[in-house]
């Protein structure tokens, strides 16, 4: 092999990332037969198979794993170079497409994104919420510049992305003033049998909270599952149950929804991560979020 065919290498890389020729052909907008032929040509030039087919699945061979390792480095660097070139000229507003897991509290998401919004260069933010799996797929397809999630990605996911740990928070319990004052006495045993408002978006911290209740011998009465963090707090304000939220925004939650904090639970934490395609993002906004010193201060409102 006198010269490596980078287009063939790219096709192989996309097939590996997507997991099948059919899915890769959709992303590349090529016919599956064409892509299969290009793969066969590439394998012929290398003198060996890159995949083995087992029950309609493509399994990397030893040669395939070796080639994939180099391909990951080549195209990750190429992607970062492309993003760097895309940023010029510097006087243009910089578009930032961010994906935020639906289970992250909206106030927390605001604080995490804020470092990008206060840069000297103007940022045009396109923010979308959704499930972690869908957001990571869109990041891989370069539809998003960064994804904010509240769980550590799986081993397979971490192989495709760079993970940046962000500022997290312990979790607190809140309720209407009358209910909160009653439940502070004898906490946490006082929670037994009390109504609980749950987050329906599978927030990881909620499972940790349930485990903590179990360890404390506490059994609450689940009265509602709600996938909107603001609506949970409205229910809580009306005295319909106890709800959980990050301690970092407790002052804002209490002020905005006229509730009171029952207690902060140090053993239950809301962990937050920024996911990017490369370890050293070229995008100024992405870099600001990953490196930002987040300060969870109450939002200042100007008088009308």
CB-hemisphere CA count at 13 Å for 220? Answer: 27
**By residue range, what is the domain housing residue 48?**
6-86
Q: Are residues 44 and 117 in the same domain?
A: no
Residue 1 lies in a domain: no
Closest CA to 175 of 200, 194, 202, 199: 194
CB-hemisphere CA count at 13 Å for 184? Answer: 13
The Cα–Cα gap between 279 and 284 comes to 13
Q: Are residues 100 and 73 in the same domain?
A: no
Cβ-contact 35, 15 below 8 angstroms: yes
CATH number at residue 72: 1.10.10.10
Q: Can you tell me whether residue 37 is helix, strand or coil?
A: helix
- pLDDT tens readout for residues 154-206: 766 666 788 999 988 999 999 999 999 999 999 999 999 999 999 876 788 88
Q: Are residues 26 and 161 in the same domain?
A: no
* End-of-domain residue from the set 39, 58, 86: 86
Q: Are residues 70 and 105 in the same domain?
A: no
- 297 has pLDDT over 80: no
The Cα–Cα gap between 52 and 58 comes to 6
Q: State the pTM of this model.
A: 0.67
- pLDDT tens readout for residues 232-242: 999 999 999 99
Cβ-contact 147, 128 below 8 angstroms: no
Name which residue leads in pLDDT, 228 or 165: 165
Q: How confident is the model at residue 26 (pLDDT cuts 50, 70, 90)?
A: very high
Closest CA to 237 of 255, 225, 222: 255
């Amino acid at each position: 092999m006198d010269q490596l065919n980078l287009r063939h290498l790219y096709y192989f890389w996309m097939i590996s990332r997507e997991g099948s020729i059919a899915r890769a052909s959709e992303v590349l907008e090529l016919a599956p037969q064409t892509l299969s032929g290009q793969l066969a040509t590439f394998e012929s030039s290398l003198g060996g198979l890159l995949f083995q087919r087992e029950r309609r699945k493509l399994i990397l061979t030893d040669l395939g794993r070796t080639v994939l390792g180099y391909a990951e480095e080549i195209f990750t660097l190429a992607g970062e170079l492309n993003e760097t070139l895309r940023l010029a000229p510097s006087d243009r507003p910089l578009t930032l497409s961010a994906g935020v897991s639906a289970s992250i509290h909206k106030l927390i998401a605001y604080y995490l994104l804020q470092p990008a919004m206060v840069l000297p260069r103007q940022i045009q933010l396109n923010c979308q919420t959704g499930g972690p799996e869908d957001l990571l797929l869109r990041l891989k397809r370069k539809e998003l510049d960064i994804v904010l999630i509240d769980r550590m990605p799986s081993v397979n996911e971490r192989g495709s992305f760079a993970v940046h740990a962000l500022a997290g928070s312990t979790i607190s319990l809140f309720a209407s003033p009358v209910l909160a004052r009653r439940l502070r006495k004898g906490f946490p045993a006082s929670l037994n049998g009390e109504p609980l408002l749950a987050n329906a978006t599978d927030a990881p911290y909620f499972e940790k909270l349930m485990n903590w209740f179990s360890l404390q011998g506490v059994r609450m009465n689940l009265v509602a599952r709600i996938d909107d963090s603001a609506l949970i707090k409205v229910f809580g304000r009306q005295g319909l149950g106890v709800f959980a939220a990050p301690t970092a925004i407790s002052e804002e939650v209490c002020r905005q929804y006229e509730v009171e904090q029952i207690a902060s639970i140090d053993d239950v934490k809301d962990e937050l991560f920024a996911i990017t395609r490369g370890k050293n993002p070229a995008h100024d906004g992405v870099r600001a979020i990953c490196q930002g010193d987040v300060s969870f201060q109450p939002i200042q409102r100007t008088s009308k």
